[in-house]
A and B are shown apart, each in its own frame.
Chain A
C-alpha cells in the first residue's frame, strides 16, 4: 500500500504541472485563433517568424528565471546580467579582436561568475534573494556602462556574429522554413533545462529547495552548494540570452536590460510556476513567453493604441494567474 501511494503523491506536482500546461497552452491557442480571425496578416510565415524571433531573448531569460523561482528565490538581475554578458562579448570580440568562439565562451562564463557571486551572497551571507539580486541588477548595469565606455559596441569586425541569432541553418537546408537560429537556440535551451530539472540531481534539489529547504538541510544535504549551483546555472543561461540579443542587434547596447526581468518573471508565472517555489515547468515558461509575444504582436497588427496594449497585457497576466488559483482550488 505504502509503495503504491508514495509514487502517486510524489507525481502529483507533475500532474498539476501538466494540467496547467494544458490551461496555458489553450490560452495560447485561443489567442492565435482570435488574432488569425481578426487579421489576415497575422498567420503569415514572416509574422510567425517575427513572433518567434521576438520570443527568443525573453524565452531564454524566462527559463533562467524559472530555475531560480522554483527554488523559492527570485532573480531581478537577469535583464542587466544579459546586457553585461553581451558587453563582455563585445569587449572580447571587438576591443580585443579575439575569435568568435572565445567571445561566446566569455559571455557565458561572465554569467556563471555573476551567478556564483549572487548565489554565494544569498546562500552564505543570508542576504534575501530579492535584495541580493536587486543589488546585482544595479552592479551589473553600472559595470556594463563602465566597461563599454557607455557606448554601444558593434560587432562589425566579427562577421559570423550576427548569424548566432539572425542566421538560419534550418533555412539553409530547407529554404521553405527559414527559422532563425535564435529560435532554435531557445528550444535547445528549453530542452536541456527541462532535462536538467526532471532527470538530474541538480533538478531534484532545485524542486526540493523550493518545497522545504529545512527538510533538505536536515537530511544532510549541502544546501548552500546546491543553491549556488542553481544561481550559477541560471546566470549562465542569461549569458546565452546576452549573446542572442547582441547578435540580433549586431551590437551590445549597455543601457538596455533594466525592466526585462519583469517580462521574464511574467512569462514564468503565466506558465504556472509558483513564486513561492517548489512547482514549475520549463514548457509552461516557454508557453508563457510565447503568450506575451503573441499578445504584443497581435495587438500591434490590429493597430490597438500602445497605451491599451499595456492595459491588455497586464489584464492577461492577472487572469492567467487567477485561472491557475481557481484550478488548484478545485483539485
Chain B
C-alpha cells in the first residue's frame, strides 16, 4: 500500500514536473518575427543586433526582415504576410504605413499572435506596447546641454526635418519647452524646417546666422539637419555651438573635429533588445506599459569612444 502510494506520488510529481516543464520548453521554442522599416541601413542593423542579443539571452529564436527602402510598403506587407504564415509566437513590427498593414494585423490578432510595435510604431490599437525613443525627453536633454555650453543665456535656434512627423514635432517641442521651463534667459528665436536635407538645412542655417549675428547656438534635430547646420556654420566661419541628433560617419567626424559640440543618440540596439524582451513578456502573460522607452544618450568628443556609447553609434 505504502509502496503503491509512493509510486502514485512519484507519478503525480513527475506529471507536475512535466506540466511545469512545458512552459519553459515552449519558451525555448518561442519564435519571434521582427518586420522593420529597413534592413541595410546601419540604424536597422543596430536594431537587429539588439534583437539578436535579446534572442540569445532569453533563449528565443528571432528573425529580422525589412524592405530595401522605406518606400516599399507592399514589400513590407509581403514580409508580414510570410511571417504570419510561419505562425510565429509573436511579431515585432515597425509600420511604413499603418493603414496598409491593418488587414494583416487583424489577422495576427485573430490568430492570437501578440504584436509589439517598435521605432515609429503602428497607428493602431492592436500592438500591446510600443518600444521607442522618448523624443521629447531626448530633445530636452539637448536643450540642457545647449544651455550648459552657452552659459545659460542668449539666443538659439532649431533646424528640424519636418513639422508633420512624430519625431519632428516631439523634438522641436521637447527642445523649445525645456528652454522655456528650465532656462528662462535663453530665447529660441527661430525654428525652421529643411526636410532633413543637408543642403537645404545649410541654406537655412546661413540665413538664420545672417539674420541673428548674436546667435549662440543651433540644434539640428536629425542627422541631415545637424550636418546641414554644421556645414552652414563652417561656410560662414561662425563659432556658434552646434548640437546634433543621431549619428552617422559625417556627424561623428564633425564632433571629433569640434565643428559640432555633441549630439543625442537614440539607442537602436536598445530598441531591438526591448522589442524582443517585450514580446517574451507578452507571451508569458506579463502586463506591459503602453510605451517602453528604449533610451537615449548624449555623446561628444570626450565619451564617444566609451564602449557603452560606441555600441549605440553607427556610421
Contact = CB atoms under 8 A, between A and B. Distances in A.
The 7 closest A-B pairs by CB, nearest first: A255-B71, A47-B85, A300-B82, A50-B81, A249-B100, A54-B78, A256-B71
B63 A303 contact: yes
B97 interface: yes
Contacts of B212: none
Contacts of B99: 154, 249-251
A154 B68 CA distance: 23
Interface in B44-93: 61, 63-66, 68-69, 71-74, 77-79, 81-87
A256 B82 contact: no
Interface size class of A (residues with CB under 8 A): 20 to 34
Contacts of A42: 85
Interface string B235-265: 0000000000000000000000000000000
A297 B97 contact: no
A255 B68 CA distance: 13
Given A46-B85, A297-B78, A300-B86, A256 B73 contact: yes
B39 A303 contact: no
A317 interface: no
Interface of B: 31, 39, 61, 63-66, 68-69, 71-74, 77-79, 81-87, 97, 99-100, 103, 107
Given A50-B81, A248-B74, A249-B77, A303 B61 contact: yes
Contacts of B107: 46
Most buried by B among A54, A57, A301, A306: A306
A306 B86 contact: no
A69 interface: no
Nearest to B70: A255
A248 B71 contact: no
B97 A301 contact: no
A46 B111 CA distance: 12
Contacts of A249: 73-74, 77, 97, 99-100
17 contacts: A42-B85, A44-B85, A46-B107, A50-B78, A50-B84, A54-B81, A152-B97, A248-B77, A249-B74, A250-B100, A251-B73, A259-B68, A259-B72, A296-B78, A301-B82, A303-B31, A303-B63
